Amino acid sequence: MEPQSEMLSASLEDYLEAILLLERESRVARVSEIADQLHVSRPSVTGALKNLAGRGLVAHERYGHATLTEEGERIALEVERRHVAIRDFLTEVLSIPAVQAETTACKLEHVLEPDILAHFVAYADSLRDGRQA
Amino acid sequence: MEPQSEMLSASLEDYLEAILLLERESRVARVSEIADQLHVSRPSVTGALKNLAGRGLVAHERYGHATLTEEGERIALEVERRHVAIRDFLTEVLSIPAVQAETTACKLEHVLEPDILAHFVAYADSLRDGRQA
DNA sequence: GTACTAAAATAGGCACGCCTAACTCAGCAG
DNA sequence: CTGCTGAGTTAGGCGTGCCTATTTTAGTAC
């Protein structure tokens, strides 16, 4: 009754993405680091981790660090992929400054459906190696 | 302590936009029509109208219809302007089908900052009357 | 091993935004 | 004028996501 039908909220996707980045730079994600990165309190992180652990997306034991499960990493990578695609579109196509492109991408990545995103990507690609057309 | 600092949520912006459209086609917005348009229950509309009335954005008396105040209309028009700009960008630049462009615009209109939106508009304009560059 | 410290967890609360169920009112039929 | 009907409202509740204050724990210093 909840194998995959349970959709992830934008908030939870942000947590996964943050954990992915922290794992990259230190092999492990600590609660306080996640809190700092997402600008939320530690209890908020604890609550989110409990939720994500319940979905089998992160491994997390009391007073320990958090790590993505295989499934969690898969989703986190997907979110990151969307993030990068959007950010690149904003900078390359629309010439939006890096900082603003970054923060805007953070919001759009939770809103754009895959098929819509594909149009963004295709357009950016066509500009890159087609120069126009 | 709340002359303009109180930001409107995406949800409240949707209500304003819906009322604007309903006023256009029938001079007046009824609770049940708003509910139908936004796919929410009537009590949800009543609650939102109470909120918006408290902010001075709509006029609404018990068991009566709702109308935008001057300030409310100003905001609704602004939201609609963003909506149209985004929708046009999606269809004209990215060749996204009308229906999907419409629903995507509904989401993006609450996320894109004015200065970011300006880039979208400028790009679409340059394509229109510049054909490329 | 005991004491301290800092990180993490629990407890409890608040704001949104939505819902269903139940009640109220306005307007019309008769 | 009585009663019906349906639009609108109130009452109450739920899930999410966040917060502060408090407690628990792990790890380190000594």
Chain B residues 66 to 95 whose Cβ lies within 7 Å of strand C are: none
CA distance B45 to chain A (A): 24
pLDDT at position A4: 39
A56 touches strand C (CB under 7 A): no
Smallest CA–C1' separation from B44: which nucleotide? C18
3-state DSSP assignment of residue B26: helix
pLDDT at position B132: 52
More confidently predicted of A30 and A4: A30
B11 touches strand C (CB under 7 A): yes
The number of C-beta contacts closer than 8 angstroms across A and B is 39
Smallest CA–C1' separation from B65: which nucleotide? D8
B47 touches strand C (CB under 7 A): yes
Nearest CA-CA partner of A90 in A114, A123, A49:
A123
Band the pLDDT of A89: cuts 50, 70, 90: very high
pLDDT in tens, chain B (133 residues): 343 447 899 999 999 999 999 999 988 899 999 999 999 999 999 999 999 999 999 999 899 889 999 999 999 999 999 999 999 999 999 999 999 999 999 999 999 999 999 999 999 999 988 765 4
pLDDT at position A129: 80
- Read out DSSP for A8-24? PPHHHHHHHHHHHHHHH
| Cβ neighbourhood burial of B78 (10 Å; 0-12, 13-18, 19+) | middle
pLDDT at position B2: 41
CA gap B52, B21 in Å, rounded: 16
pLDDT at position A26: 87
Query: What is the per-residue pLDDT across A24-77, written as a single tens digit (0 to 9) for each?
Result: 998 899 999 999 999 999 999 999 999 999 999 999 989 999 999 999 999 999
Average of pLDDT values for A72-94?
Answer: 97
Count CA atoms closer than 13 A to B7's CA, side-chain side: 3
A82 touches strand C (CB under 7 A): no
Residues of A with CB under 8 A from a CB of B: 90, 93-96, 100, 104, 107-108, 111-113, 115-116, 119-120, 123, 132
pTM of the predicted model, to two decimals?
0.90
- Tell me the two tokens of residue A104: 């805007």
Band the pLDDT of A103: cuts 50, 70, 90: very high
Nucleotides of C under 7 A from a protein CB: 7-12, 16-21, 25-26
A63 touches strand D (CB under 7 A): yes
